[in-house]
Structure 1
């Protein structure tokens, strides 16, 4: 690289920087900062079919969280197959024979609020690394405290202490026995957060998300108007990043453990299918928190605003729908046997390998490391795009690994109902949509360079297939 040496200003108000012996770049000596409106231009409400689509999702997503319970429980089985069965399931809404199906319960709300407060306390008082995020449009970087793994380890340690005490297993089934009121409590928290950050973003002058500033309430409420919201007087507490992998992800694991305790009380043992679900979904959570810093490069953090899409997704959708397989197995156990267990474990391990290797390649490359000596292309912007390794096989190989892992979580439930396979169907739709959003953003960002990159890496998610 050529030496870069400053030279005296050639005229008042400018500086000249010598890039090579024959090339000069003249820059303003005192660049004018962008105004608030220039930093936060109006966006067009086009994602998810605009305000109508986001409004429908805002209603349907929490509704399906309840549907997954009322159509899949030990009172009605899983997915009623007759008209009378559906009528009976509907009659149980708000009139369930146990606390598990109560629509609201103040005790559950207190427990959920206490859980969220506990997670905040862990963030505040447990040690953790300080990591800088990506460069923002206003030229600043936020610093994040990464101690989610310590929060998880402390939580698992406390949980183990409960389980090992006499009556601890019965006590841990409390989560399973208060499922719906906990869902409702999480929805209250998610809705409150989305409304509060939306309103507060009009007064604190914070940086907004480019996709959530349309001026339409229903659209911006869902997509998220603020990019990095924080409570007053606590600028280091980024609500969006905190929610991403802490309260919901860790609660998902605790709910799964509660389901395993319920199965143990009913059968006197834990089936192989439950062990597979618990161990692999648990490892996914642990791995996510080990690699917590990598979320700073994800679209959720770098691009999306914090609104109902992320608050409801993080606090309600993840813990209470991702664990549907464990809840199903609690009241309808499946015995897989050694052969089927081996097949499922192989699929799960393959998915985990692809997911982790792909993310490691990307993480190392973004950190300026290239231990595998992977090939790449340089764009006109100076950005480097990987074109070999897993990222040479497809543009989103980590999504492919995610799909394989999702399949491995669903297969232990057998084939008696399609409902327990909702997760992989949902994940296919989610990641295909995210891939389309990412491709569109990259095409806008890189122009012709993106077309050239797509020629080198033609497959979108599944290597050599799609």
Structure 2
């Protein structure tokens, strides 16, 4: 793989943007309407608590089912992610960068006194952009921190399944690939079966949402865990 090919492969396309936008749109819609356990978060310093709609497992099964049916009807290609892996990587990185900027500027403008949205500004732009300003920022009533980690875990499985489909298509499926897919799938399924416990992790209860967490959830988890 030469440098020019790598650079060209990393350039985002409208297809990769559409895939990412469609994925986030799906998660936002089904996360709001599918049934699931409503889990109270930890008590915050102002004696309030958030509530989390834990329907990630059902959302995941529905998504995989819809993709399988769509592939059977030749509406989508199961290898689309594998074919555009580097494009999706750069697109997701740019998205994470921009989201962190929006979170920074919106956080700076916040006048909230509540624990979730109260701005914590050090005056160091890089520090505040990296570590975040608000604890639990929301967009259209969606808790972004919980949303992004769910997207990252699902994205990891989707990348794996697309690589699996590519291996089958190319006739290169091996025992090691089968074992890799199996162990990763079990890990991810275990996460969603016990998704409610994520609401009490350090990331959720203590760390503010900045580039570090956004990048970690949307880029680091799916794109590095899938190349183990």
Contact 1:131–1:145 at 8 Å: present in 2 too?
Answer: yes
SS in 2 for 1:201: helix
Offset at residue 226 of structure 1 (A):
0.5
**Equivalence for 1:242:** 147
Q: Using CA pairs below 8 Å that are at least 6 residues apart, which structure has the higher relative contact order? A: 2
Offset at residue 208 of structure 1 (A):
6.1
Residue 199 of structure 2 corresponds to residue 199 of structure 1: no
Residue 67 of structure 2 corresponds to residue 159 of structure 1: yes
Out of 58, 70, 73, the residue aligned to residue 150 of structure 1 is 58
Q: Map residues 104-115 of structure 1 onto 2, 5 A cutoff.
A: 104-115=12-23
Take 1:166 and 1:200, find their aligned partners in 2: how far apart are those partners?
43
Q: Please give the per-residue CA displacement for 1:301-320, whole angstroms capped at 9, x wherever unaligned.
A: 11110000011111111111
Q: Please give the per-residue CA displacement for 1:14-42, whole angstroms capped at 9, x wherever unaligned.
A: xxxxxxxxxxxxxxxxxxxxxxxxxxxxx
Q: Please give the per-residue CA displacement for 1:309-353, whole angstroms capped at 9, x wherever unaligned.
A: 01111111111111114xxxxxxxxxxxxxxxxxxxxxxxxxxxx
Take 1:278 and 1:180, find their aligned partners in 2: how far apart are those partners?
20
Unmatched 5+ stretches in structure 1: 1-75, 77-88, 96-100, 326-466
**Equivalence for 1:226:** 134
Take 2:41 and 2:162, find their aligned partners in 1: how far apart are those partners?
35
Take 1:117 and 1:300, find their aligned partners in 2: how far apart are those partners?
23
Contact 2:10–2:89 at 8 Å: present in 1 too?
Answer: no
Residue 33 of structure 2 corresponds to residue 121 of structure 1: no
SS in 1 for 2:89: helix
- Which structure has the greater CA radius of gyration? 1
Out of 207, 210, 216, the residue aligned to residue 307 of structure 1 is 210
Unmatched 5+ stretches in structure 2: none
Take 2:89 and 2:11, find their aligned partners in 1: how far apart are those partners?
8
Contact 1:212–1:223 at 8 Å: present in 2 too?
Answer: no
Take 1:283 and 1:263, find their aligned partners in 2: how far apart are those partners?
20
Take 2:61 and 2:196, find their aligned partners in 1: how far apart are those partners?
17
SS in 2 for 1:138: coil
**Equivalence for 1:252:** 156
Distance 1:125 1:311, change over 3 A: same
**Equivalence for 1:379:** none
Contact 1:208–1:225 at 8 Å: present in 2 too?
Answer: no
Contact 2:10–2:90 at 8 Å: present in 1 too?
Answer: no
Contact 1:209–1:304 at 8 Å: present in 2 too?
Answer: no
SS in 2 for 1:144: strand
Contact 1:229–1:239 at 8 Å: present in 2 too?
Answer: yes
Count the aligned residue pairs. 226
Q: Map residues 281-300 of structure 1 onto 2, 5 A cutoff.
A: 281-300=184-203
Contact 1:210–1:303 at 8 Å: present in 2 too?
Answer: no
TM normalised by structure 1 equals 0.46
Take 1:187 and 1:254, find their aligned partners in 2: how far apart are those partners?
17
Q: Please give the per-residue CA displacement for 1:197-235, whole angstroms capped at 9, x wherever unaligned.
A: 22112333153699963221101111111001012xx44
Take 1:277 and 1:317, find their aligned partners in 2: how far apart are those partners?
18
SS in 1 for 2:52: strand
Point out the structure with the larger helix share.
2
Q: Map residues 24-423 of structure 1 onto 2, 5 A cutoff.
A: 76=1, 89-95=2-8, 101-163=9-71, 165=72, 171-204=77-110, 205=112, 206-207=114-115, 213-231=121-139, 234-235=140-141, 237-244=142-149, 246-267=150-171, 270-325=173-228
Contact 1:211–1:304 at 8 Å: present in 2 too?
Answer: no
SS in 1 for 2:185: helix
